[in-house]
Structure 1
Amino acid sequence: MPALTDRPDVTPPRWQEYVPGLALARSYERAWLPKDVVAGLVLSALLVPQGMAYAQLAGLPPVTGLYTSILCLLGYAVFGPSRVLVLGPDSSLGPMIAATIAPLMLANGDPARAVALASMLAIMVGVVMTVAGLAKFGFVADLLSKPTQIGYMNGLALTIVVGQLAKLFGFSIDADGLVDEVRDFVSGLAAGEANTTAAILGVGSLAGILLLNRLLPKLPSVLIVVVLAALTVNTFDLQSRGVDTVGVLPQGFPPFDLPSINWSDVAPLLLGALAIAVVALADTMSTASSFAARKGERVRGNQEMIGIGAANVAAGFFQGFPVSTSGSRTAVAEQAGSRSQVTGVVGAAVITVVLVFATTLMQYVPQPTLGAIVIAAALSLADIAGTRRLWHQRRVEFLLSIIALLGVALLGVLPGILVAVGLSILNVFRRAWWPHQAELGQVEGIAGLHDTESYPDADVLPGLVVYRFDAPLIFANARMFGETVREIAEDHPDLRWIIVAAEPITDVDTTAADMLLELDSWLNARGVSLVFAEMKDPVRQKIERYGLTRTIDPRHFLPTLDEAVAEYRRQTGANWRDSRNET
């Protein structure tokens, strides 16, 4: 007798849809294992140095980057829907984490408190993402338009590079904000605070990473540079020359720990968590979409939110900090032949082995090299080509991108993300507020009616204006619509009909309905009929619910523009004539 789960008419419990790792375990093929293991080993070479570097970028001890990497990879392997995405500490989130927890730190900068705050922040991000995913809020990723996202990332790249310059040159500064950091860095150089040996090591590490990425992109450039830098420090005893290193890592698997914070910390942490969640989601969706397109797969946006949420919660309970998808690490895994999330599990296992059995492995890694890793990652965030494309394609969106950049650079990372989101929303609102409008005419040899500005030779019918309004008719643009129609009526003394090409009008709210009522009465007093063509059924139903058909003649709602024009010609006997004769 077959098992119950083998019966074709029995579907798995609904809760299993939210745990893709179970389906992967059932469908996993043995032939995938060698490729996943190799890809996991290659990936771990990138995870270890980057994890430590990004932890320091967030203002945390380097080992927390390794803790974070282990747990987020395991959490996403169970709850993440994508078989190729790799999560982990991210250069774009580091400054946001630091900006959130820094104001909450005590005067002595206790590392334990920093870890507790960052861990609670990760848990909050995880809860926000999970709840949003269950509520099917995947559309939130759309709050960052491409131009503002480019500007935000450019500003973030600039902020990260400036913030790491002092470490690259072997000294430290205590400044808050881009302008102050630039000033203090220049002052430090002028005062001779830079360590020449550390600077040579840092700049050389950065040059090595960039050159290897360009000339030999398939090689693990970060690992090669880290190994060479550590060997250099050990061989020539550069620590005695003032080169700071990572040192011996704490031994053992990440300990489970419920972060302890003050109630006064909750509100600022929640604000930071919301901002981080938006950025992490936008980054994940764009990365997931690009890699899924290569394999012809579908992106499950809401489940991605749950997967990221689970990864963050897991990291938060083991002294980790917020994570996101990494495009660079995902690309490395894919190039190495990864077939599933087992790659991430292997990477987590390798990092665990390092923490349990090889804590001295990283003791000679120089801090300037970690700064070089962060700067190299930041440079990859910048999209100069995209900015240049915006300049050539659409200056308004280029301006939005620059404002987003300045928001991050001058106001800070968290205010910068709020500026970016606000600009994206305002840009949408602007298009609805000031939509494109056109008067239409007949063009010889081209079917349909077309904009008379684009086709000044278009023919029109005497006594008729066909008017198109390319936006929903709402409170923000109702006055513009009404004033424009009034101006049309006043400019055409012989006007008898105004046909509104209503196909682009996807909504009519109550403010616009009141405007249409007044407008129709005003036009009727002048002997002009207001006629609608191609109005969508849902919009027509709203018009009827508002009671406008008791005032506007129901016969003045026609299904197509051609029928509306034909009806006008039938009633008036008008013939087409050159619009240049219309004055």
Structure 2
Amino acid sequence: MSAPTSARSVRDRLLGAWALKGYKREWLRHDLIAGAALFALLVPAGMAYAQAAGLPPVTGLYATVVPLLVYAIVGPSRILVLGPDSALAPLIAAAIMPLAMGSSEKSVALAGLLALLVGGIMLLGSVLRLGTITGLLSKPIRLGYLNGLALYVGLSQVPAFLGIEAEGDSIWEKLAGTYTQVMDGGTNLAAVALGLGSLALIWIPRRLKWKVPGVLLAVVASCLATAFLDLGDTVKVTGALPQGLPAPALGGITWGDALSLVPAAAGIALMAFADTGVLSQSLAAKEGKRISGNREMAALGAANAATGVLGGFPICGSSSRTPVAVDAGAKSQLTGAVGAALVLAFMLLAPGVTEFLPSATLAAVVIAAAVALADPAGVRRLLRMSRSESVVMLAAFLGVLLVGVLQGILVAIALALLDFVRRAWNPYRTELGAQEGRPGYHDLARHPEGDRIPGLLILRFDAPLFFGNGQVLATFVREELDEAEDHITHVILAAEPITGIDTTALDDLVTLDEWLAQRGVDLVFAELKGPVKDKLVQLGTAARFTPDHFYSTVGAAVRELAGQDHK
């Protein structure tokens, strides 16, 4: 490879999509307009999700600016907005709050460390080419998790929405305290009015499909109402932001903190990449393209690591802000960079604007995002389609609410894996027969009008063979042989679904073959995959299962063994 080609390869890996493919001059106007539209959402959303994560609002702006700038350089997607997200906020809070012990400074440091760990895990995953690991998050898990998370996030904002300072280590303790205060008449009616008004201003433009973001209207209106009605002493407000740029805030953390956060970082990395990967691929598909999962994982890891160093917290692709950029005409990652630059200008030139921003309004922003996160229609569809997958979904839903957001993911994944094992342990199995006028051999349980082939028992077992189902296959063959009306000379195993075998299942297969041989019956295989044949040879059964035991198709086996031309 020549030096210029090598340099180009390095550049292609480092530069983002818009820089790599050449920026077009006519894109500039669109990107500037889209960046300004995006800015209207970046500030309130970043501050709201920081509050939901139990962090100072300014950290949400740090976690907005840094990822946008980093991803503009290294991100593979042409249009994707990264930043704080309502789905990650409770995960972050659950991870750092027990270790912070009420210290705001320690919380910020732990959140930065968590982002660093998330970024490191993603970068390592990219090197190991684990871009497909999100397959662990099946549809039932994601439905249960997201709906449980939507309810969890919404409930977590109830105290702020009601203007109540609730004490407690868990959401349920805080809700219990909130209930007690409500019963004692402690509800702040001004905060409730601002919260309800904010929800109305968020949802009405969304329902009417206005171009102006409802979040921007809610923030501006609530700030004006607080200022002109002099509600600063009546309701809790965010207060003026500290003036300055993102900076390191990792003081006071220890190796013990890092070790404690690793499990949470792994769970957050999995969820963050799952959401970002789906969003990124969806955007690319609209243009008839595909994005490398490993490149996306590396870019998201770099963005998380950078925001961890500079005072932020874990982030992912935003399913709410990305469509805003797309609808505003974004053409490239310059849109995100423009939005980030405007946020920086706001932090430097007008940090005092948030002095009149009510906490109830930020709570309304998070509640609106939580409602959008829920998918009740998807839940109803799954309940109609599959009972076992509905159990997995319900486990994820209840796990998030009752056990915790991180533990709920692990519980759901464990149940999904157990369900997979259950299906493999007890797969569908049936006898096959011929049908007049139809090619091939068909399930006699579904087509009882089919004919059995005299002297042959054709069986199908729809799963790889492993330690859990080898005996199931053996029992199935014996029972079918005992029930056969004709004298059987050969059992033909239609083995196309058998894509693997382990040593325990092989022992069961050998024992079955010996049992059949004692009864004058030969066991043969049809359509067995080459790699499985190789495995049988490697496991030392070549002398038992010689080449004449294998047939390319069921039809070939029937023609050879029965002397009949059944197609």
Q: Do the structures match in fold with TM over 0.5?
A: yes
The answer to whether the aligner puts 1:343 opposite 2:335 as a matched pair is: yes
* CA distance 1:565–1:181, change in 2 (3 Å): farther
Paired residue secondary structure (2:356):
coil
Q: CA deviation at 1:33?
A: 1.2
* CA distance 1:251–1:25, change in 2 (3 Å): farther
Counterpart for residue 230 of structure 1 = 223
| CA-to-aligned-CA distance 1:19-64 (integer Å, 9 cap, x gap) | 1328715611111111111111111111100000000111100000
CA contact (8 A) 1:157 1:381 kept: yes
Report the more deviating stretch, 243-252 or 288-297: 288-297
The answer to whether the aligner puts 1:392 opposite 2:387 as a matched pair is: no
CA contact (8 A) 1:462 1:574 kept: no
The answer to whether the aligner puts 1:70 opposite 2:70 as a matched pair is: no
CA contact (8 A) 2:159 2:175 kept: no
Q: Provide the C-alpha distance between the structure 1 equivalents of 2:218 and 2:480, rounded to a whole number of angstroms.
A: 70
The answer to whether the aligner puts 1:513 opposite 2:506 as a matched pair is: yes
Q: CA deviation at 1:67?
A: 0.8
Give the counterpart letter for 2:208 in structure 1: L
Q: CA deviation at 1:485?
A: 1.3
* CA distance 1:127–1:186, change in 2 (3 Å): same
Q: Provide the C-alpha distance between the structure 2 equivalents of 1:355 and 1:226, rounded to a whole number of angstroms.
A: 16
Counterpart for residue 29 of structure 1 = 24
Matches within 5 A, 1:523-534: 523-534=516-527
Q: Provide the C-alpha distance between the structure 2 equivalents of 1:64 and 1:31, rounded to a whole number of angstroms.
A: 35
Give the counterpart letter for 1:137 in structure 2: L
* CA distance 1:368–1:133, change in 2 (3 Å): same
Counterpart for residue 206 of structure 2 = 213
Counterpart for residue 443 of structure 2 = 451
Paired residue secondary structure (1:438):
strand
Q: Provide the C-alpha distance between the structure 2 equivalents of 1:496 and 1:4, rounded to a whole number of angstroms.
A: 69
Q: Provide the C-alpha distance between the structure 2 equivalents of 1:29 and 1:17, rounded to a whole number of angstroms.
A: 18
The answer to whether the aligner puts 1:497 opposite 2:486 as a matched pair is: no
Which of 416, 419, 425 aligns to 2:417? It is 425
Q: CA deviation at 1:218?
A: 3.5
Counterpart for residue 320 of structure 1 = 312
Matches within 5 A, 1:77-96: 77-96=72-91
Counterpart for residue 579 of structure 1 = none
Which of 502, 522, 530 aligns to 2:515? It is 522
Unaligned runs of 5+ in 2: none
Q: Provide the C-alpha distance between the structure 2 equivalents of 1:445 and 1:229, rounded to a whole number of angstroms.
A: 75
Q: Provide the C-alpha distance between the structure 2 equivalents of 1:428 and 1:54, rounded to a whole number of angstroms.
A: 36
Counterpart for residue 538 of structure 2 = 545
* CA distance 1:217–1:566, change in 2 (3 Å): farther
Paired residue secondary structure (1:465):
strand
The answer to whether the aligner puts 1:244 opposite 2:236 as a matched pair is: yes
Q: CA deviation at 1:305?
A: 0.6
The answer to whether the aligner puts 1:159 opposite 2:152 as a matched pair is: yes
| CA-to-aligned-CA distance 1:165-220 (integer Å, 9 cap, x gap) | 11111112123445444433322211111101111111221232122212225331
Q: CA deviation at 1:504?
A: 1.0
CA contact (8 A) 2:526 2:557 kept: yes
Aligned length: 565
Q: CA deviation at 1:17?
A: 4.2
Which of 287, 295, 307 aligns to 2:299? It is 307
Q: Provide the C-alpha distance between the structure 1 equivalents of 2:251 and 2:279, rounded to a whole number of angstroms.
A: 31
Q: Provide the C-alpha distance between the structure 2 equivalents of 1:184 and 1:387, rounded to a whole number of angstroms.
A: 31
Counterpart for residue 187 of structure 1 = 180
Counterpart for residue 108 of structure 2 = 115
The answer to whether the aligner puts 1:40 opposite 2:35 as a matched pair is: yes
CA contact (8 A) 1:84 1:338 kept: yes
Q: Provide the C-alpha distance between the structure 1 equivalents of 2:91 and 2:430, rounded to a whole number of angstroms.
A: 45
Report the more deviating stretch, 171-180 or 514-523: 171-180
Give the counterpart letter for 1:44 in structure 2: F
CA contact (8 A) 2:456 2:491 kept: yes
Q: Provide the C-alpha distance between the structure 2 equivalents of 1:295 and 1:22, rounded to a whole number of angstroms.
A: 13
Give the counterpart letter for 1:99 in structure 2: A
TM-score, normalised via structure 1 length: 0.93
Paired residue secondary structure (2:542):
helix
Give the counterpart letter for 2:248 in structure 1: F
Q: CA deviation at 1:139?
A: 1.4
CA contact (8 A) 2:48 2:363 kept: yes
| CA-to-aligned-CA distance 1:254-291 (integer Å, 9 cap, x gap) | 12344440222122211111010010011111112222
Which of 435, 459, 471 aligns to 2:427? It is 435
CA contact (8 A) 1:162 1:181 kept: no
CA contact (8 A) 2:146 2:373 kept: yes
* CA distance 1:188–1:511, change in 2 (3 Å): same
Report the more deviating stretch, 486-495 or 414-423: 486-495
* CA distance 1:178–1:260, change in 2 (3 Å): closer
Report the more deviating stretch, 536-545 or 547-556: 547-556
Counterpart for residue 273 of structure 1 = 265
Which of 46, 53, 64 aligns to 1:51? It is 46
Counterpart for residue 580 of structure 1 = none
TM-score, normalised via structure 2 length: 0.96
The answer to whether the aligner puts 1:378 opposite 2:373 as a matched pair is: no
Report the more deviating stretch, 51-60 or 419-428: 419-428
Give the counterpart letter for 2:496 in structure 1: E
Q: Provide the C-alpha distance between the structure 2 equivalents of 1:154 and 1:266, rounded to a whole number of angstroms.
A: 30
Q: Provide the C-alpha distance between the structure 1 equivalents of 2:165 and 2:239, rounded to a whole number of angstroms.
A: 18
Q: Provide the C-alpha distance between the structure 1 equivalents of 2:561 and 2:317, rounded to a whole number of angstroms.
A: 59
Paired residue secondary structure (1:340):
coil
Q: Provide the C-alpha distance between the structure 2 equivalents of 1:354 and 1:322, rounded to a whole number of angstroms.
A: 22
CA contact (8 A) 2:47 2:61 kept: yes
Matches within 5 A, 1:125-140: 125-140=118-133
Paired residue secondary structure (2:523):
strand
| CA-to-aligned-CA distance 1:93-114 (integer Å, 9 cap, x gap) | 10000000111023xx121111
Which of 321, 333, 352 aligns to 2:325? It is 333
Which of 408, 413, 418 aligns to 1:416? It is 408
Paired residue secondary structure (1:248):
coil
Unaligned runs of 5+ in 1: 577-583
Paired residue secondary structure (2:132):
helix
Q: CA deviation at 1:4?
A: 7.5
Q: CA deviation at 1:462?
A: 2.5
Give the counterpart letter for 1:148 in structure 2: I
The answer to whether the aligner puts 1:147 opposite 2:140 as a matched pair is: yes
CA contact (8 A) 1:462 1:575 kept: no
Paired residue secondary structure (2:133):
helix
Paired residue secondary structure (1:269):
helix
Counterpart for residue 465 of structure 1 = 457
Q: CA deviation at 1:552?
A: 2.7
| CA-to-aligned-CA distance 1:471-496 (integer Å, 9 cap, x gap) | 11111211211111121122226222
Counterpart for residue 117 of structure 2 = 124
* CA distance 1:421–1:525, change in 2 (3 Å): same
CA contact (8 A) 2:15 2:74 kept: yes
* Identity fraction in percent: 45
